[in-house]
Amino acid sequence: MKPNIKNIAVLTSGGDAPGMNACIRAVVRTGIYNGINMFGVLQGYQGLITNNIIPMDARSVSNIIHLGGTVLKTARCLEFKTDEGMDLAYENLKLHQIDALVVIGGDGTFTGARRFAQRHQINVIAIPGTIDNDLYGSDFTLGYDTAINTVIEAIDKIRDTADSHDRLFFVEVMGRDSGCIALRSAIACGAEAVLLPERATSLDELIKQLEAGAATKKSSSIVIVSEGHKQGGAYDIAKHVKEKFNHYDTKVTILGHLQRGGSPSSFDRILGSRLGYAAVNELLKGNTQQMVGLRGNDIKLTSLDEALTEHSFKLESDLLEMTKVLSI
């Protein structure tokens, strides 16, 4: 049975990610193409509560596909975790006669969306938008590809100067609970070693790897450190290594928030477009409390229940194995 959906709103929530604007554009235009009135909610769930909701036409999303960040802004919102907050949000949606919601964000965003849809009469589709790639149900989350490209461009520059035998570069990348960015970046820039939150690589092990590299006359050594590593950040680890190897000149780069920004890669623009297009089409088919994600080359649905309870180890273990072989 086709639902009678006439008005749809879209919002971005949580940390921003490159590709969110391409996704917003696709949501808005797919809706309009199908005769739906489209709305944008500013500053995530906060904007639902404060009624910061604006109508959007096809031109309102012109010339944004290539921009980093999100034109709808994002904010953390504790109030939406309360029943009172959700009720306020729902009242505002009613004011605009909004029947359905597309939310773009990460784990926290999905949790909020599920609780909201369970409490109130509103259809919700969620889109995985986070650079960390730490969501179940999509092989790649929106922003992940761009973030890796940002990291490797930075490391390519470091490699230019990494030409003496006794230099060690430590580069800290994002991913508090997920080593996805670290692992793919390590492969793509040919790093000598990578420290992941999911793996308890001891410093002794790291030092052994670096010694092996020195023995085969590597002209430089770059170590990627995921910010969530148990032995500390890049500074701490560099300090420990330096203590054991004081002839090494250790240098540290902390990439920080620059990994969240930048013009999205073609991959993320296309992924964002496909996910936004699919989200609206799924709402129009009557689906709700689902996420749309990329599986292989196809866009597939996963229920929010499944997405939020599955915590399978997402790190690609075959790639991890390959790293060892290719960094000889």
Size of the site for a second copy (CB under 8 A): 83
Strand ranges across the sheet with 290-295: 53-56, 37-41, 7-12, 100-105, 123-128, 290-295, 298-303
Piece of 111-119, 151-159, 204-212, 285-293 that binds a second copy (CB under 8 A): 151-159
- For 216, other C-beta atoms within 10 Å of its C-beta total 7
Contact status: 229 vs a second copy (CB under 8 A): no
Q: Does 297 bind a second copy (CB under 8 A)?
A: yes
CA dihedral 202, 205, 211, 216 (to 10 degrees): -130
Shortest approach of a second copy to residue 103 CB, angstroms?
18
| Cβ contacts of 213-218, under 8 Å, gap ≥ 24 | 213/327, 214/165, 216/328, 217/165, 218/165, 218/192
Is residue 132 annotated as a catalytic residue, yes or no?
Answer: yes
DSSP label of 264: P
Tell me the backbone φ, ψ of residue 89, rounded to 5 degrees.
-60, -45
- Binding residue (CB under 8 A) for a second copy from 81, 84, 200, 258: 258
Contact range with a second copy by CB under 8 A, out of 120-128, 185-193, 282-290, 302-310: 185-193
Select 99 or 268, whichever has its Cβ closest to a second copy. Answer: 268
Query: Is 279 assigned a ligand-binding role in the annotation?
Result: no
Which span (19-27, 107-115, 121-129, 307-315) binds a second copy, by CB under 8 A?
Answer: 19-27
Does position 284 interact with a second copy (CB under 8 A)? The reply is no
Query: Cα–Cα distance between 139 and 108 in angstroms, integer?
Result: 19
Binding annotation = 15, 25-29, 76-77, 106-109, 130-132, 159, 167, 174-176, 190-192, 218-220, 227, 251, 257-260
Catalytic residues: 132
